[in-house]
Structure 1
Amino acid sequence: MARDQIDMTPLQSRDELVAWLEAGIKPPSEFRIGTEHEKTPFTLEGRQPVPYEGARGIGSLLEGMQLLLGWEPIMEQGNIIGLYDVTGGGAISLEPGGQFELSGAPVENVHQTQSELMAHLAQVREIATPLGIGFLGLGMTPSWSREQIPVMPKGRYKIMTNYMPKVGNYGIDMMYRTCTVQTNLDFSSEADMVKKLRVSIALQPVATALFANSPFTEGKPNGFLSFRSEIWRDTDNARSGMLPWVFEDGMGFERWVDYALDVPMYFVKRGETYIDVAGSSFRAFFEGRNNSLPGERPTLSDWANHLSTIFPEVRLKRYLEMRGADGVPWGRLPALPAFWVGLLYDDDSLNAAWDLVSHWTAAERQALRDDVPRLGFKARIKDRYLFEIARECLKLSHAGLRRRNRVDHSGRDESRHLEPLERILESGRTPAEEMLDKFNGGWGGSVEPVYQEYAF
């Protein structure tokens, strides 16, 4: 999650909300790729969660990163809670349980994503290792209880923590125990946005299976391959899910605005203060009917912040965010942007992907979404295993990346970043199944070895 936006212009009409989204339209020559990944910090000694405070805490880690990088600190109530790269546009931020997130700068190709990632990991290691901190590349913390995990000093998380248990069983787990990798991609028109949104929502379960990497809870198998994905089925259904209405006639920016207006809000930010408005709609706020801010109208900042608290499988802001993947070890991270860039940034692949999913019904898409956390590649839609569909998608993505022909210094195109996914499909098993085999075999029924084998 990047920084909260600052633009205090009061909003007058719904058209301004639509225009804010429309401003994301770019010519294909200006399309960029943004990748965000979260990783769980742990103490190298004892493998415990890392608190914010103290000489070896997350605050110290951020201060060290600031000295190393020279990035602008993001402060809240005197605490450093993130860093922002004024020149490149990247950011480092904290998730509720201390998960350390790099929001990558917008780059032109996946090779640059990989370079950015390698530089980031080297920088983080330089500061973290002397502090006795390591990082884990899993979709969910494999051994800690909710109670063990420290809370980061960010006002918005306090409000969300209070609200989550009212709207689902797993919201607290989502906040404090999960990690994701996501990729953010552009669109060239309203029609292009709609097509990419539909294709990527329908195929999000493919990414969930390819990246399924959260089979353990509190030291034991939890019965799922992506428990992180399962968590999202019962976090807050008013703001998550497969958005069936996106596939109906008349879909566009306006339809998204109408959806977002009715999604319950969490907070309004005034200065450094977060005002708890949890559960009330943006629409009521827009009409001056917010009980905490009577007669006040929202600003563009409020709108941008509200859009960042909507959590469907694919999210529309001024770009599209793919949200279906578990956090994974560093070698597999560039495979996510590569997969989606090959499918969505090449017209032939995008059209072929639309042909693949266009005849699926809302109920079928939903059933696939519901089954994939437990079944992975064995989930089915219309008598086809997800495994076959994943194989087809990977072919399309590969072809799209070949046609894009963005080559690195050795003359290789971006399709090389798909290699980890190709290996997964060759084995026929999700990463989680591979991990469960280790747990039941060489690991001797212990999750402790993940802290070595799946560390960054």
Structure 2
Amino acid sequence: MARDVSDSTLITSRAELVAWFNEGMKPPADFKVGTEHEKFPFYRSSHEPVPYEGDRGIKALLDGMQARLNWEPILDREHIIGLFDEKGGGAISLEPGGQFELSGAPLATIHETREELEHHFKALDSVAEPLGIGFLLIGMTPKWRREDVPVMPKQRYDIMRRYMPKVGTRGLDMMFRTSTVQANLDYSSEADMVLKMRVAIALQPLLTALFANSPFTDGKPNGLLSARSEIWRDTDKARAGMLPFVFEDGMGFDRYVDYALDVPMYFVKRGEVYHDVAGASFRDLLAGRLPQLPGERATLSDWANHLSTIFPEVRLKRYLEMRGADVGPLPLCLALPAFCVGLLYDTASLESAWDLVKSWSVEERQTLRDDVPRLGLKASVKGRSLREIGVDVLALARAGLKARARLDEAGDDETHFLDPLDAIIAGQSEAERLLSLYDGAWGQSVDPLFDLGSPVLAAV
């Protein structure tokens, strides 16, 4: 999330929490897609992580991007921790370990997403190059230990850092050593949201397998294809996972509100201060009986910010967030929104995808999700591998994009953005490709990874 929501309107009833989701509905003609991607800054000369302070630090990088883009700063007390475009062009934010994130604008086509990505990386490269900074597009830091990673000066992350070890063994790794790409999609009604969420959750393991790109830890193979996905299995079970209730009768906004109210809080923001209420109940804040802030009542910004601290495989806000993918080379950063748009925005493709997954049981979906970080496309459900299922699902996504017929200036539709995924289905994931290089041309070293992103736009 690029910046916390500011809306001091008091919540006077639980119904307002449900209504908040209703206000996200859009007619299909107005559907957009937003793409978020994170990357690890590093010094090209030493391959070391970039600290916040210093003439060549992340603050200097943000200052340079502000001057280049003329975006407004996002401040945490006296620290610049992000930028946003007042005209709605997106935002830049910092993840806990300095992962540099673009939260892209809601856009009508994947062609526009490509233009946004190219503009972002051109601007970023022009600022980073003089500072000697490069970027790793990989799902987990391949070399740095957790204690090597710098800490960003954000109050909310200080609270999370203290709380994470209390609820899981991998939360700090998630915060400081992982990086993702997400696609955010709209819904037209409550029923549309439910169907999209069910299909998307069931197929997140397929996305994880297709985008697996975190096979190294501490400078050597970790035995996984997506260590980032494995880390989420023991980060915080109260706020992550496959959400079995989504597939039950009665699923809707009201049921998701119940779920979100039961997820423990991290913080309450008042003014410039983040009050640590980690483990507290949002229900108590609604009732004005939060022990840490007696008498304080919940606002709409509290609700929106609380929802941003819930981390299931698919997250519901006023749109749906697809959260299963490792970040990877730039063509894959475009393939993710293309895949999701083709599959979820075309009625025929969406219904066919539901027919494909609706017989999977809770246990089968969970087993698939548990297996995929290690097995990737070899993981299976109901006797079919994800590679076989992926062929069918990619065909549906391609058909959906073809039916949309959104053409660029050259007359090309959006289907070509899926080509990298077809290559993966027919061959190997990015993680498997990197492991082959590690055992071959790289001489069992991860250092060549730091040269893959130079220059950053080479892969577009």
TM-score, scaled relative to structure 1 = 0.99
Residue 420 of structure 1: how far off its partner (Å): 0.8
| Aligned equivalent of 2:299 | 299
Does 2:88 align with 1:91? no
Alignment of structure 1 residues 31-180 onto 2, 5 Å:
31-180=31-180
Alpha-carbon displacement from aligned partner over 1:46-98 (angstroms, at most 9, x marks no partner): 00000000110000100010011100000111111000001134000000000
Does 2:240 align with 1:240? yes
Residue 387 of structure 1: how far off its partner (Å): 0.7
Distance (whole Å) between structure 2 residues aligned to residue 246 and residue 331 of structure 1: 31
Q: 1:136–1:329: 8 Å Cα contact kept in structure 2?
A: no
The residue type equivalent to 1:446 in the other structure is S
Alignment of structure 1 residues 376-395 onto 2, 5 Å:
376-395=376-395
Residue 162 of structure 1: how far off its partner (Å): 0.2
Distance (whole Å) between structure 1 residues aligned to residue 89 and residue 11 of structure 2: 26
Distance (whole Å) between structure 2 residues aligned to residue 341 and residue 417 of structure 1: 11
Distance (whole Å) between structure 1 residues aligned to residue 386 and residue 177 of structure 2: 27
Q: 1:378–1:385: 8 Å Cα contact kept in structure 2?
A: yes
The residue type equivalent to 2:191 in the other structure is A
The residue type equivalent to 1:48 in the other structure is E
Q: 2:22–2:190: 8 Å Cα contact kept in structure 1?
A: yes
| Aligned equivalent of 1:437 | 436
Residue 430 of structure 1: how far off its partner (Å): 1.7
| Aligned equivalent of 2:285 | 285
Which secondary structure state, in structure 2, belongs to the residue aligned with residue 334 of structure 1?
A: helix
Alpha-carbon displacement from aligned partner over 1:278-320 (angstroms, at most 9, x marks no partner): 0111112212221111121110000000000000000000000
Alignment of structure 1 residues 309-324 onto 2, 5 Å:
309-324=309-324
Distance (whole Å) between structure 1 residues aligned to residue 82 and residue 453 of structure 2: 25
Which secondary structure state, in structure 1, belongs to the residue aligned with residue 447 of structure 2?
A: coil
The residue type equivalent to 1:295 in the other structure is G
Distance (whole Å) between structure 1 residues aligned to residue 353 and residue 268 of structure 2: 39
Residue 231 of structure 1: how far off its partner (Å): 0.5
Distance (whole Å) between structure 2 residues aligned to residue 418 and residue 447 of structure 1: 28
Which secondary structure state, in structure 1, belongs to the residue aligned with residue 206 of structure 2?
A: helix
Distance (whole Å) between structure 1 residues aligned to residue 317 and residue 125 of structure 2: 32
The residue type equivalent to 1:445 in the other structure is Q
The residue type equivalent to 1:432 in the other structure is A
Alignment of structure 1 residues 241-256 onto 2, 5 Å:
241-256=241-256
Alpha-carbon displacement from aligned partner over 1:11-33 (angstroms, at most 9, x marks no partner): 11000000111100000011000
Distance (whole Å) between structure 2 residues aligned to residue 454 and residue 57 of structure 1: 19
Distance (whole Å) between structure 2 residues aligned to residue 81 and residue 234 of structure 1: 28
| Aligned equivalent of 2:448 | 449
| Aligned equivalent of 2:29 | 29
Residue 434 of structure 1: how far off its partner (Å): 1.1
Alpha-carbon displacement from aligned partner over 1:418-448 (angstroms, at most 9, x marks no partner): 0111111121x22111111110111100000
Residue 109 of structure 1: how far off its partner (Å): 0.4
Which secondary structure state, in structure 1, belongs to the residue aligned with residue 274 of structure 2?
A: strand
The residue type equivalent to 1:376 in the other structure is G
Aligned CA distance change for structure 1 residues 454 and 371 (closer, same or farther; 3 Å): farther
Q: 2:144–2:218: 8 Å Cα contact kept in structure 1?
A: yes
Q: 1:146–1:176: 8 Å Cα contact kept in structure 2?
A: yes
| Aligned equivalent of 2:367 | 367
Which secondary structure state, in structure 1, belongs to the residue aligned with residue 255 of structure 2?
A: helix
The residue type equivalent to 2:245 in the other structure is W
Distance (whole Å) between structure 1 residues aligned to residue 232 and residue 288 of structure 2: 32
Which secondary structure state, in structure 2, belongs to the residue aligned with residue 333 of structure 1?
A: helix
Which secondary structure state, in structure 1, belongs to the residue aligned with residue 354 of structure 2?
A: helix
Distance (whole Å) between structure 2 residues aligned to residue 364 and residue 401 of structure 1: 29
Distance (whole Å) between structure 2 residues aligned to residue 449 and residue 269 of structure 1: 42
Distance (whole Å) between structure 2 residues aligned to residue 68 and residue 377 of structure 1: 41
The count of corresponding residues between Structure 1 and Structure 2 is 455
Q: 2:2–2:82: 8 Å Cα contact kept in structure 1?
A: no
The residue type equivalent to 1:357 in the other structure is V
The residue type equivalent to 2:358 in the other structure is S
| Aligned equivalent of 1:207 | 207
Residue 454 of structure 1: how far off its partner (Å): 4.5
**Structure 2 residues not aligned, in runs of 5+:** none
Which secondary structure state, in structure 2, belongs to the residue aligned with residue 449 of structure 1?
A: helix
- Does 429-438 or 306-315 show the bigger shift? 429-438
The residue type equivalent to 2:291 in the other structure is N
Which secondary structure state, in structure 2, belongs to the residue aligned with residue 324 of structure 1?
A: strand
Distance (whole Å) between structure 2 residues aligned to residue 437 and residue 291 of structure 1: 54
TM-score, scaled relative to structure 2 = 0.98
Residue 331 of structure 1: how far off its partner (Å): 2.3
Distance (whole Å) between structure 1 residues aligned to residue 282 and residue 96 of structure 2: 24
The residue type equivalent to 1:350 in the other structure is L
Which secondary structure state, in structure 1, belongs to the residue aligned with residue 389 of structure 2?
A: helix
Distance (whole Å) between structure 2 residues aligned to residue 399 and residue 206 of structure 1: 18
Residue 334 of structure 1: how far off its partner (Å): 0.3
Alignment of structure 1 residues 322-361 onto 2, 5 Å:
322-361=322-361
Does 2:275 align with 1:275? yes
Distance (whole Å) between structure 1 residues aligned to residue 387 and residue 150 of structure 2: 38
Distance (whole Å) between structure 2 residues aligned to residue 380 and residue 430 of structure 1: 16
Distance (whole Å) between structure 1 residues aligned to residue 329 and residue 386 of structure 2: 23
Distance (whole Å) between structure 2 residues aligned to residue 453 and residue 126 of structure 1: 17
Distance (whole Å) between structure 1 residues aligned to residue 235 and residue 150 of structure 2: 20
Distance (whole Å) between structure 2 residues aligned to residue 281 and residue 48 of structure 1: 40
Aligned CA distance change for structure 1 residues 454 and 61 (closer, same or farther; 3 Å): closer
The residue type equivalent to 1:441 in the other structure is G
